[in-house]
Structure 1
Amino acid sequence: MALSPITELIKTETSTTLKKTESSKTYKLDFDTGEIKGYIDGIEAVKQYVRKALSTPRFRYLIYTDQYGSELEDLIGQNVPHELVDAEVPRLIEEAISYDDRIRAVRNFSISRKGDALYATFEVETVDGTIEQEVKV
């Protein structure tokens, strides 16, 4: 039995090594009220990470590294063709969330428009399974 829940002792014929298992346990954020309501882990924590990373403008807040957040906000109000926006959105989404070690791939993008709003739906393959996300740009 391990002394800590995040480590596991692995024995082989020639040596003994220590394998570290990272936990994704984090605070559960209620995006509607702005409150913290307990904890989440696993795939729910990844869903929350994706939503929060995509809604946080990159380079705006000193508390975050340069790798955290997205540059989707930079597309708003730009006078560029729809084709260019449709090509940039998947790239910016993948770039924003791919820094997390729990995310293996981002794929199957679908871009749709309703009025002035642009919606991107995509799949995120994680270490715990695949999730579908939608973001309003």
Structure 2
Amino acid sequence: MALSPLEPVDIAEEIAEEQSDEQPLKTYGIDFDNGVLGGTVDGITAIKQFVVKTIKTARFRFTIYDDDYGSEIEDLLGSDASIELLETEIPRVIEEALLYDDRINDVYDFELTREGDRLFVSFYIEINEEVIPMEVTI
């Protein structure tokens, strides 16, 4: 970086070059079952938390989030959809909700299990060639 007044310096460009393109993984810890927020989580635990929170957040309903964040799972479950329709639409909706994030390369191998009024969805996410098993209760 030159300090001469003869050479213009674009500070914003220099800052952008110094910053990494990777998104940070450290975030606040959330216990979704009990609704408790506390501590911090990092790494794979933070990614898993992001996945669950994204799936459980209704898309287009909260102005704090942009239109890419969240899913339409709630709309599917609120309808009188058959299990066959849910088996095709839930994977599509989850993939659409997660793949916008640059950290997630792939979402695949979905399995839905219904127990009473609860629906369990298990699948795998791929991040930097690492495969992470997920299970979300909807």
Q: TM-score, normalising length from structure 1? A: 0.78
Q: Closer, same or farther in 2 for the Cα pair 1:117/1:31, shift >3 Å?
A: closer
Q: Which has the higher helix share?
A: 2
Deviations for 1:3-39, whole angstroms, at most 9, x for unmatched residues? xxxxxxxxxxxxxx85725222222223344443222
Partner of 1:125: 126
Letter in 1 for 2:65: Y
Letter in 1 for 2:50: Y
If you compute each CA radius of gyration, which structure gives the higher value, 1 or 2? 2
Q: Closer, same or farther in 2 for the Cα pair 1:112/1:42, shift >3 Å?
A: same
CA distance in 1, matches of 2:86, 2:49: 25
Partner of 2:92: 91
Q: Which has the higher strand share?
A: 1
Letter in 2 for 1:49: F
Letter in 1 for 2:91: P
CA distance in 1, matches of 2:135, 2:115: 14
Partner of 2:52: 51
Task: List structure 1 runs of 4+ shifted beyond 3 angstroms.
Answer: 32-36
Q: Percent identity?
A: 47
CA distance in 1, matches of 2:81, 2:52: 25
Q: Closer, same or farther in 2 for the Cα pair 1:60/1:19, shift >3 Å?
A: closer
CA distance in 2, matches of 1:31, 1:89: 20
- Unmatched 5+ stretches in structure 2: 1-16
Partner of 2:82: 81
RMSD between superposed Cα atoms in Å? 2.0
Partner of 2:112: 111
Q: How far does residue 129 in structure 1 lie from its aligned partner after superposition?
A: 2.1
Contact 1:120/1:136 (8 A) holds in 2? yes
CA distance in 1, matches of 2:68, 2:57: 11
Q: TM-score, normalising length from structure 2? A: 0.77
CA distance in 2, matches of 1:74, 1:122: 20
